[in-house]
Amino acid sequence: MHEILKNAVAALIALIGTVLAIFVGYRQWKRQQQSTREGEFRSQTQQTYKELWEKLEDIHVRLRTGVVSRDEFRSLIRDVNSYILKRDLYLEGHDQQLANQYLSKVREFTDLVAACDSEDAKEAVSMTAEIPSDVMLNVRNLGKIQTEVNRLREEILVRYRRVLLGNISAK
């Protein structure tokens, strides 16, 4: 009987050790799976922010370097919003509003710059006369809008950098 008890205790200890090893292995595997999923999600989030930034800056450059009609601008905004909708899983809720505000301000800024390019203003400056009040109003508005464009751009840059560095969690 003593021999049977001795063998049973040894078998029980071996069973407990095996169960513990399986449990520890399972927990490690589970953590590794979770870490892999989180890493993939983080990578997709970073890629989404990078691509969105490139889309926004492509439009910014296009607005500054050429004439973009209202219909073209609407189409560009629609493309950005479509991208945001498709990639919404990886973006924060405020990002679509921020992107649209930024592009609207860039458009407003470029429209004011174009409006300031008047012959009256050029003539007044060349004659050392006072610049017409409508041009001065445009210049003041230009300064306000430029400040707003820069503020929105900086806000986007800060947010996107945090995402790309992994310092912001997605939704």
pLDDT tens for each residue of 106-146 = 888 777 767 766 666 545 545 656 657 877 777 788 788 88
Residue 27 lies in a domain: no
Residue 76 lies in a domain: yes
| Top-confidence range, 2-11, 21-30, 126-135, 157-166 | 157-166
Reply yes or no on whether the pLDDT at 8 is more than 60: yes
Residue 14 lies in a domain: no
Q: What is the 3-state secondary structure (H, E, C) of the chain?
A: CHHHHHHHHHHHHHHHHHHHHHHHHHHHHHHHHHHHHHHHHHHHHHHHHHHHHHHHHHHHHHHHHCCCCHHHHHHHHHHHHHHHHHCHHHCCCHHHHHHHHHHHHHHHHHHHHHHHCCHHHHHHHHCCCCCCHHHHHHHHHHHHHHHHHHHHHHHHHHHHHHHHCCCCCCC
The pLDDT tens digits for 62-90 are: 887 777 899 999 999 999 999 999 999 99
Mean pLDDT of 133-161: 85
The mean pLDDT of the chain is 82
Mean pLDDT of 45-71: 90
Residue 95 lies in a domain: yes
The pTM of the full predicted model, rounded to 2 decimals, is 0.62
Residue 87: its pLDDT value, please? 94
Residue 94 lies in a domain: yes
Residue 56 lies in a domain: yes
Token duo for residue 125: 């400056």
Distance CA 166, CA 163 (A): 5
Residue 85 lies in a domain: yes
**Domain span holding position 64:** 40-164
Q: How many domains does the chain have?
A: 1
Residue 117: its pLDDT value, please? 64
